[in-house]
Amino acid sequence: MKKIGMGDVYMKNFLKGKLLVAAALSTILLAGCGDSGGRDFAYFSSESTNGSSGYKSDTSAFQTNSSSASYDSDGYYADEAASSDYAAKGNEESSSLAADSIQKEMLVYSCYMDVDTLDFDTSLNSFKNTLDMYGGFVETENFSDGGGGGRWYFENEEKWQSYSATVRIPSSNYDAFCNSAGGLGDLRSKTSSVENLSQEYSDLSTSLEIYEAKEQRYIALLANITEDEYAVEIERELTNIQIQIANIKTRMNRISTDVAYSYVYFTLNEVKEYVSEPIKTDTFFDRLSNTLSNAGRGFLEFLEGLLFFLIYTVPYFILIGIVVFVIVKIVKKHRSKKREKKLLEQQAKQAAEKTEEQASDRLDNDSPAAEQKPADAENKDVSGDGNEEKKS
């Protein structure tokens, strides 16, 4: 039969006790001041036997007796009554602490102010002196001269300076400082708010008490454990608890600081007084003189612009003229050649037509002459016969 060691029994009860502690903590956090008890785990007593290295389990290790806590001869505690008593005591202390925290108001004041001033430098110096007088300090600040964002400097550029800052003021001097800061110029807007963090601070205090109690139990348990495996597990849990405690304390310190020093968001803007110029009524001669002056000035500006335009465009006109001249010469030369070619063609055609006409005329002239020649021959023969007759 397998022998159950002390380590196995401890591990089972350790896990069971861990679950019970988690349930108890959840109940305390949700119920606040409710009446609930938690169970914790207990380490079992061990006793060395003659010639053996084993452990024997204590049958009364995991108990819920709420009367008292007992320790064995080796210094380990085997009863969880102490944890139950502490949980009940913690509930009572947390209840009283929460009541005290709620009665003590944890108020955080905030104020947003916009002030316009004609004398920017004087108002800004007065604001810083007022801040020092009431014991405040600057958390963040921003200054702008109102100039352009470029890299060029203009001597006569119109600028509108502005200053904004987030300052912290002791809450006891909050109202006095706001009144003084609002009087540095023309108060354009002011928005105040109050945030009550009493409930949050009370919840944090209760959670801190629970985590610190749990931390002490883990520290005591870690001091009595000899098994490395269990010691590593408890150290891991202890580290997580200490991280939670540190986070809670950080938040509580932040709330305490915000309660002690209020927020003021201050903005100072430079303005300038508007001066209206008197309206001047011009006479007829004034208007006539202005009209003639404007007309002469406009005409001179027109001539000046025309001259500059001609100077600017003459090179282009010369280039365009050269190109047009060359194109015209080429076109004329082409047209002249085409005209000469056409004239030669017409002359050749006319010569051909004339040649044809001459040939036709020659043919026409040759045909009557041929017909007339036999007739002349006949006439000659007739006349010859007649002459012969006469001679005879």
Determine the length of the chain.
392
Q: What pLDDT sits at residue 196?
A: 92
Please check whether residue 165 is in contact with residue 140, taking contact to mean a CB–CB distance below 8 angstroms: yes
SS (H, E, C) 268-320: EEECCCCCCCCCCCCCHHHHHHHHHHHHHHHHHHHHHHHHHHHHHHHHHHHHH
pLDDT band at 335 (very low <50, low <70, confident <90, very high): confident
**306-339: b or e for each residue (b if 16 or more CB lie within 10 Å)?**
eeeeeeeeeeeeeeeeeeeeeeeeeeeeeeeeee
Inform me whether the pLDDT recorded for 270 exceeds 80: yes
pLDDT confidence of residue 371: 56
Radius of gyration of the chain (CA): 62
Which one of 81-95, 139-153, 308-322, 347-361 scores highest in mean pLDDT?
308-322
Please give the structure tokens belonging to residue 195: 């945030």
Please compute the mean of the pLDDT values over residues 234-246 and round it to a whole number.
Answer: 93
What is the distance between the alpha carbons of residues 80 and 69, in angstroms, rounded to a whole number?
7
Q: CA torsion sign, 207 to 213 to 216 to 217?
A: negative
Greater model confidence, 124 or 2 = 124
Kindly tell me if the per-residue pLDDT of 150 is higher than 70.
Answer: no
CA distances 349 to 213, 338, 357, Å, are: 135, 16, 12
End-to-end CA separation in angstroms for the chain: 204
Confidence (pTM)? 0.48
pLDDT class of 380 with cuts at 50, 70, 90:
low
Sheet containing 107-117: order of strands: 137-144, 162-170, 261-270, 107-117, 186-196
Best-predicted range by mean pLDDT among 121-125, 285-289, 352-356, 387-391? 121-125
Amino acid at residue number 304: E
Q: Highest mean pLDDT range out of 20-24, 89-93, 125-129, 159-163?
A: 125-129
| Distance, CA of 351 to chain centre | 95
DSSP β-bridge partners for residue 249: none
The residue type of 234 is I
pLDDT band (50, 70, 90) for residue 350: confident
Task: Return d(Cα 162, Cα 131) in angstroms, integer.
Answer: 18
**Cα of 182 vs its chain's centroid, Å:** 33
Q: How do residues 25-70 score in pLDDT, each as one tens digit?
A: 554 444 443 333 333 333 333 333 333 333 333 333 333 333 333 3
If you average pLDDT over every residue of the chain, what do you get?
74
Q: Is the pLDDT of residue 108 over 80?
A: yes
Averaging pLDDT over each range in 33-37, 93-97, 131-135, which range is the top one? 131-135
Dihedral pair phi/psi, residue 173, rounded to 5°? -105, 15
pLDDT at 269: 94
Note the pLDDT tens digit of each residue in 174-210. Answer: 999 999 999 999 999 999 999 999 999 999 999 999 9
Higher pLDDT: 377 or 274? It is: 274
Q: Is the pLDDT of residue 378 over 60?
A: no
